[in-house]
Structure 1
Amino acid sequence: MFSNTEEFKEAFLKKLEMTCGKSFADSTEKDHYYTLGLLIREYVSTEWINTNERYRIDQVKQVYYLSIEFLLGRLLRNNLLNLGIEQVVSAGLQDLGIELSSLEEVESDAGLGNGGLGRLAACFLDSLASLNLPGHGCGIRYKHGLFEQKVVDGYQVELPDQWLRNGHVWEVRKADLSVEIPFWGEVDIREENGRQVFQHIHAERVTAVPYDMPVVGYHTETINTLRLWSAEPVRYPTNQDVLKYKKETEAISEFLYPDDTQDEGKILRLKQQYFLVRASLQSIIRSFKRQHKDMKEFHQYISIHINDTHPVLAIPELMRILIDEEKLGWDDAWEVTTQTISYTNHTTLSEALEKWPVRIFQPLLPRMYMIVNEINERFCAKLWEKYPGKWQYIENMAIIAHDQVKMAHLAIVGSHSVNGVAALHTEILKYREMHSFYQFFPKKFNNKTNGITHRSWLLKSNQSLADLITEKLGAEWIRDPEQMALLLKYENDTDLLTRLADIKHANKENLAHRIFTQTGIKIDTHSIFDIQVKRLHAYKRQLLNIFHVMYLYNRIKEDESFKMHPRTFIFGAKASPGYYFAKKVIKLINTVAKKVNHDPKTNEYLKVIFLENYRVSLAEDVFPAADISEQISTASKEASGTGNMKFMMNGAITVGTMDGANVEIHERVGDENIFIFGLRSDEVNHYYAHGGYQATEYYHHDHRIRQVMDQLRNGFFPDVFDEFEPIYDSLIMENDQYFVLRDFSSYVHIQEKAGYAYEKQEKWRKMSLNNIAKSGFFSSDRTINEYAQGIWGIK
């Protein structure tokens, strides 16, 4: 793009004048960021067009990855890195008196996701482009994303995330490719030439406008596309109350995950899902028809992947298009649909599997409901053939039952592949959560263990470590991350281990500076950075972590002989706006932090930090600085996790349960390089199936637990009278659904073991090196290759 800094500076200054209408002397930092972004986007446009043209001419099979979330973070440095021009641009900007790092801060994190689901989707797009695979993303262009989290007096407060307030330099609006989406109304059925014709009439229509973003591969000529849809009113609405219609329309693409505790929120969520699916399929089919004519061959050229159940309406929507618009018979349409669609399951929590009340689904999406009902009738008929008389069995597997549409059931029945995201997760799906479906469709189920893009989470966010790896191994590991295993030959190299420790300490200094700037709290960078950053949920057990902090505080206060290596406990998490319990845990963490951090007797040994508004750009400072990675979910509950992989790749040691991908991390690093504690998944499942667990026994027989629990409500925390009663009740009155008290003693023990291990620094550094070396397997490049070959059939 730019062969030298002079060439870059000339192009930059010319673009600045043309774009902003200002001289360089009068320009601002925002002008500089916007100019640089435009310069890069315009440069990649040629390859972007060429990529799509290549796909068209070669008639290659393409995959479209449908996801309700794409958690991209900031794209400036990522694009510079992938284009191979970061150093030239940085040097050129410096000549002009501009710091690239300052321009990065101008860019807002794209507010298009919440947690692991969206971050996985972003990593997958990066890997698809970097591996020269024809794959694109389809999502929603949320105006405000999830929310911006503020902590006020220890409580989470949600503010609109204004990530688009200054525009988004990476997107291209393509209004000419807009499509209309119908809701409500009714279906008119009539006979035409001996076949039934279905027409959706009296519908309320909204416009889906696409915004395209280039997905730049690492040092390749491949530029794939992320297409995001924005909801806008149709040009001439027929509604009498135009303002109400406009407000309801724009709400579709306003917030990620609107609160669905009431019917109004349920309707909005279902609207979002159909909006995404119908707009995306119209776009995909329009592109397909420019190259091919026979829709019976659609699945030979197109693969559609649904990331969790949110886009599962792709199944009935593709059926609708094939039957109503393309005039295929049911059997032909079903063959094409099931061969086109594949599904990733992301949960073992039955309560998290989407179900929609028929009373909402049917009137909002009348044609979808007719098709889903027909799919259900035909599926139940097949079940009856195999299991005659087993009414209960068939009822449990039905797609529509008890006035609910079960989206996971629809996803399994209507796809050719169902995959879990870690080995343990897939086994739980096959033999517990979806066992009856596995018995009926044994060939559909497979495993694809999650991965992360090492380009973002090592090469970009931990450049010093990446440079050290390149120095020792050469640059080939960037293309083939499993070559990082060759680092093990340096396990006894004192110089390398020392440099590794120096890099870690510099990263800790960087995070400590950021924390001090934002909170005014000074933390000891020689302390153990013990970090848990992820969505706030009861099964992820941030509660167990903060109980351990309370125990340590009590121990320091009461036992003069007790000594421990200083620790800084760092939390980052957002709680869903309607998740009452999770918000109480955030308040507890911040209340404990206030007490601990201001106690002169303990703050030499303990600090507690809650990172406000945890997001991708903050995570890029967090992962490289961690000593301990907290992965402490109740065994069998976390499908995979990807934070565990990011920590591992950056040299942190896992303290975790045998859950999700922790199991596979343990397999690779061995007992000596990980700290495993707590119940195993079979033990958890035995408790759920047969009972036998009494939380009160642990409360009464472990004085440490009793003291911590009592402190929730005995005035230990002043000014928060009965604030934490719901937490106490969840553990005692509701019998501790996620076994926090059962695993407490084991957790305390393993944390002591981790503390002792840290003090033997030479051994700790070897453990860290081992984790880095073995992390290459968890690159999303490996995952995507497995999807490409085993599910999608793309090359």
Structure 2
Amino acid sequence: MKSPTQLKEIEDFKSAYIKKIEEVSGEYLALSSHLNQYQALAEIVMEKVATQWAKTSAQYDTIPHKRVYLFSIEFLIGRLLKSYVNSLNWEETVKIAMHELGLDYQTILDQETDPGLGNGGLGRLMACFLESAATLGLPFHGNGIHYKHGLFEQKIINGEQVEVSDNWLRNGYPFEIRKPNESVIVKFYGDIHYEKVNGALTFVYENYEPILAVPYDLPVKGYHNSTVNSLRLWSAEPLDEFDLLSFNKGQFIDAVRHKSEAEAITQILYPNDNEAGGKLLRLKQEYFFVCAGLKRIISRFKRFNQNCLDDFSEKIAIHINDTHPALCGPEMMRILMDDEGLSWNDAWKITQNSLTFTNHTVLPEALEKWPVEMMKFLIPRIYMIIEEINRQFGESLRLKAGLNELQISALSIIQDNQINMANLAIVCSHSVNGVAELHSKILKEETFNGYYKLFPERFHSVTNGVTPRRFLINCNTNLRDLITESIGTEWIKNLYDLENLMRFKNDLAFAKRFCQIKLDNKIRLSHYIKQQNQIVVNPESIFDIQVKRIHEYKRQLLNALHVLHLYNCLKANPNQEFIPRTFIFAGKAAPGYYFAKEIIKLINAIAELVNNDPAIHDRIKVVFLANFNVSLGEIIYPAANISEQISTAGKEASGTSNMKFMMNGAITLGTMDGANIEIYEAVGKENIVTFGLSSDEVTHYEKQGGYSSIEVYESNEHIQKIMHQLIDGTFGHLGNFQSIYDSLLLYNDTYFILKDFDSYLGAQKRINSIFQDKTKWFNMALHNVAYSGRFSSDRAVLDYQKKIWKTI
């Protein structure tokens, strides 16, 4: 029974919504399109959020807080409308109002596009941090790039990935505010000379190419509070859009060339950098948003601090998320010295005390390096500053640390005519952290060991986390409601309270509802698969899911080869007892990453082979879902029985999909890698299935040798058959997979897929055995939900506050 207040709120909302429909469409509700219905709801929600946004900004200006600015080339924020509605505590009101108006709320929500602002865990982590900070009432803000087309939309055509433009802004975006009055100029190319002005050495920039950086601000709403922080995204625009003189001369292309060149900077995320042009564009992107963001932060700080920068680092933290924003160091030095007139020493003190750096990888190819000549050509003043930072750092190592020239060279920012961006970030920051216990250990003992020996106090570890609001509360509402009915609402504010669910491990009624919710989520995903892939899957089968960026170290290949092995076993013995499995893959390969695209092609080739073989009797189904994004993840995570986290040990920094799956009651099947180790510690060895080499064993093989994939191949007839199938025409018109065959045998299986194959097989057999015991399976799933509290991004943000930013 609704209270009079609730009934009035619903009626008021309906009246406001009907009026807004007419405003956005010029038509009555009955004639409005789904898009108009979405736009009307978005505008009403944005008006409410914007009021809180303005109030939050005013409070920050009057109440002293240390502000944190997260610089990241990715912010994978996902759809926002539902998130805003739920954060405003409007969920019930809006649902009832839409129903009474004869509208389908889910259809309206589906009109929103996923913002193309990120690719994977790197960008999703930043989105989770922003949401958690707002929910905790903390002044955190993001700085990134306003990509017009994002990464790319992935289509699967003839089994292969095809990239098409992802025009996520095609219908506009109601949750951003363009602020041209806060635009800044970013300078590229040009010449530098210096002169004495009032006795001080002054650097003058001439003949540069100016690009206008225009900010678009998005509100980041806290859950069930009035805090709204900001994500600022920078768009590149020309100072002069149109050259009338060239046009009047008939030089029509020249008339708009500068506009096209400027806008190219923020067209897409991660331009293909296999060629020099793509590399240059990517470096432009990295400097562009760093320069624009820091200029506005420093300008704003001066405005509210009597034009003084003395206590800047006490009130501001600038966080470098991976190496893409590593130019924050030299750019801060440039602003403080060239624009603000500070000495080198004073500028360096502020810079180093303000900057912190999170590293996200141990893979050598992912540690960015830029050619000296390119940096010198594109941003000459920045290169001069990097060169001086490197010189002074080398001098300090020589004089204070007593290192020899060989040791200094190994730690140099500039090596082999390249600028090492991770080294630059470490030298310019007062804190460096990894994102899981194992990852942080590898950084200290291997990747950055030289720096760790010099500056042990700089190195920290903060395990990643994900926001439970998006990845449990909003996307798995039935499980949310069951939890709340069982243990109350405090868990929403403190995810550790989920441990109280263990009181229900022997409650048959609770177990029945818990398992039914999982089945309902699997049915929902089954409908999506039927609609998108025209594949019918069995919701009662084990949903074995691996969704993440396609990369060799993440070992989707190991998963795929195991599916092929199961197919071979069923073909050899069709009458064997077999628990039905649905293998679900999703993820994008970088456009220039040939081998990752071959893995996608192989998965789809196996799917075509298995799904169309009547002898299998639908006991195995294989599905590759195209264009994985946050919205698709919100359907997938609640439906999973098995969470595949099978990276080569020591290669995955942390992982965050493992946390999202765990939170929704999936069992982790994984190596002891990244945050899997901490999941193991949280749930206990009985509630996770592990396999494979340890990180120490992988390191030993990599450094000492001793592994031969040929020997594994020759001793295992199952592997022999699978390997032959890659090249013997098994996949018919989809071709063969010689490159994969060669990587595993001729090039000695870099990521130890064949070495771990038998162990992986054993782990999968254990899963089959456990799944048949429904009570045990429920108990394992419940453990995973109950002990997911430490993997909340709320906890991660508070850890950063205490250990790194020192805001509390």
TM range (shorter): over 0.9
Deviates more, 1:460-469 or 1:485-494: 485-494
Give the superposition deviation at 1:385: 2.1
**More displaced, 697-706 or 15-24?**
15-24
Amino acid at match of 2:98: L
- The AA in structure 1 aligned to 2:783 is N
Find the residue that maps to 1:601 and give its secondary structure.
Answer: helix
CA distance in 1, matches of 2:432, 2:71: 15
Q: Distance in 2 between matches of 1:753 and 1:24?
A: 56
Does residue 425 of the first structure (1) align with residue 430 of the second (2)?
Answer: no
Q: Equivalent residue for 1:787?
A: 800
- Aligned counterparts of 2:664 and 2:694: Cα–Cα separation in 1: 26
Counterpart in the other structure of 1:203? 208
Written as runs of structure 1 = structure 2, the 5 A alignment for 1:142-541 is: 142-235=147-240, 241-292=254-305, 293-386=307-400, 388=402, 390-541=404-555
Partner of 1:775: 788
> In structure 2, what is the equivalent of residue 132 of structure 1?
137
- CA distance in structure 1 between the aligned counterparts of 2:781 and 2:344, rounded to whole angstroms: 57
Which of 648, 655, 677 is equivalent to 1:663?
677
Tell me if the contact between 2:574 and 2:616 (Cα under 8 Å) persists in the aligned partners: no
Pick aligned residue for 2:81 from 76, 79, 96? 76
Give SS of 1:574's match: coil
Matched, 1:562 2:567: no
C-alpha contact (below 8 Å) 2:241/2:256 kept by paired residues: no
- Note if contact 1:295-1:326 (Cα within 8 Å) is conserved in structure 2: no
The answer (yes or no) to whether the contact 2:81–2:109 under 8 Å persists in 1 is yes
Letter in 1 for 2:12: E
Kindly indicate whether residue 76 of structure 2 is the aligned counterpart of residue 63 of structure 1: no
- Secondary structure at the aligned position of 1:607 is classed as strand
Give the aligned partner of residue 675 of structure 1: 689
**TM-score normalised by structure 1 residue count:** 0.98
Partner of 2:62, secondary structure, is helix
- Secondary structure of 2:356's match? strand
Q: Secondary structure at the match of 1:508?
A: helix
> What corresponds to 1:576 in structure 2?
590
Measured in 1, the distance between the counterparts of 2:524 and 2:794 equals: 29
Distance 1:603 1:196 in 2: 80
1:224 is paired with a residue whose SS is strand
Q: Give 1:391 deviation, angstroms.
A: 2.1
Aligned in 2, Cα 1:39/1:689: closer, same or farther, shift over 3 Å?
same
Distance in 2 of aligned mates of 1:56 and 1:288: 10
Map 1:642-791 onto structure 2 (within 5 A). Answer: 642-721=656-735, 723-791=736-804
TM-superposed deviation, 1:717: 1.4
The alignment of Structure 1 onto Structure 2 pairs a total of residues equal to 794
Alpha-carbon deviation of 1:191? Answer: 1.0
Distance 2:548 2:496 in 1: 26
Q: Secondary structure at 1:220's aligned position in 2?
A: coil
Residue range with higher mean Cα deviation, 236-245 or 297-306: 236-245
Determine if contact 1:296/1:332 at 8 Å carries over to the other structure.
Answer: no
How far does residue 543 in structure 1 lie from its aligned partner after superposition? 0.2
Give the 3-state SS of the residue equivalent to 2:154 in structure 1: strand
In the alignment, is the contact (CA less than 8 A) between 1:597 and 1:603 conserved in 2?
no
CA distance in 2, matches of 1:472, 1:389: 61
Q: Counterpart of 2:250? A: none
Secondary structure class of the residue paired with 2:616: coil
**1:559-638 paired onto structure 2 within 5 Å:** 559-560=573-574, 562-638=576-652
The Cα shift of 1:336 comes to 0.3
| Contact map agreement 2:241 2:258 (CA 8 A) in 1 | no
- Distance apart, 1:388 and its partner CA: 4.3
Return 242-251 or 161-170, whichever deviates more. Answer: 242-251
Which letter does structure 1 place at the counterpart of 2:764?
A: Q
Q: Which moved more, 1:421-430 or 1:284-293?
A: 284-293
- Partners of 2:84 and 2:721 lie apart in 1 by 52
- Whole-angstrom distance in 1 between the partners of 2:391 and 2:67: 32
| Partner Cα separation in structure 2 for residue 85 and residue 708 of structure 1 | 54
CA positional deviation for 1:492: 1.1
Q: Which amino acid aligns with 1:770?
A: H
Structure 1 residue identity aligned to 2:796: T
- Rounded to whole Å, the distance in 2 between the matches of 1:206 and 1:323 is 22
The 8 Å contact of residues 604 and 624 in structure 2, kept in 1 or not, is answered as yes
Contact 2:241 2:259 in 1 (8 A): no
Identify unmatched segments of 5+ residues in structure 1.
none
User: What secondary structure sits across from 2:615 in the alignment?
Assistant: coil
Contact kept in structure 2, 1:658 and 1:681, CA below 8 Å: yes
Contact 2:66 2:315 in 1 (8 A): yes
CA contact (8 A) 2:242 2:259 kept: no
Shift of 1:794: 2.9
Distance in 2 (alpha carbons) for counterparts of 1:11 and 1:237 = 42
| Whole-angstrom distance in 1 between the partners of 2:90 and 2:303 | 35
Distance in 2, Cα, partners of 1:748 & 1:288: 58
Amino acid at match of 1:246: K
CA RMSD of aligned residues (A): 1.4
* Residue pairs, 1:99-114, within 5 angstroms: 99-114=104-119
For 1:21, give the aligned amino acid: G
Percent identity reads 50
CA spacing shift, 1:632–1:374, aligned 2, 3 Å: same
CA contact (8 A) 2:240 2:259 kept: no
Structure 2 Cα separation of the partners of residues 703 and 559 of structure 1 = 16
- 1:187: Cα distance to partner? 1.0
Find the aligned partners of 1:263 and 1:244 in 2 and give their Cα distance: 20
2:10 is aligned to 5
Deviation of the 1:294 alpha carbon: 1.5
**What is the CA–CA distance in structure 2 between the aligned matches of 1:593 and 1:390, rounded to whole Å?**
57
Indicate yes or no: 2:34 matched with 1:29: yes
Deviation at 1:236, TM superposition (A): 6.9
Q: Give, as a single letter, the amino acid of the residue that structure 2 aligns with 1:108.
A: T
**SS where residue 306 of structure 1 aligns?**
strand
Q: CA offsets per residue over residues 332-353 of structure 1, 9 Å max, x none? A: 1111001111110000111110
Checking the alignment, whether the CA contact within 8 Å between 1:426 and 1:447 is kept in structure 2 is: yes
Distance 1:113 1:140 in 2: 10
Residue 206 of structure 1 aligns to a residue whose secondary structure is strand
Please tell me whether the aligned partners of residues 583 and 622 of structure 2 are also in contact (alpha carbons under 8 angstroms): yes
The answer as to whether partners of 2:159 and 2:734 remain within 8 angstroms in 1 is: no
Q: Deviations over 1:745-790 (max 9, x none)?
A: 0000100111110011110000000000000110000000111222
Please say if residues 574 and 615 of structure 2, whose CA atoms lie closer than 8 Å, have aligned partners that are also in contact.
Answer: no
Residue identity in the other structure for 2:233: L
| Counterpart residue identity of residue 727, structure 1 | I
- Structure 1 Cα separation of the partners of residues 360 and 214 of structure 2: 29
State the AA in 2 paired with 1:162.
N
2:586/2:624 contact within 8 Å kept: yes
Q: Tell me how far apart the structure 1 counterparts of residues 458 and 403 of structure 2 sit (CA, whole Å).
A: 25
Counterpart residue type for residue 50 of structure 2: S
How many angstroms apart in 1 are the aligned matches of 2:620 and 2:399? 64
Deviation at 1:24, TM superposition (A): 2.1
Aligned to 1:43: 48
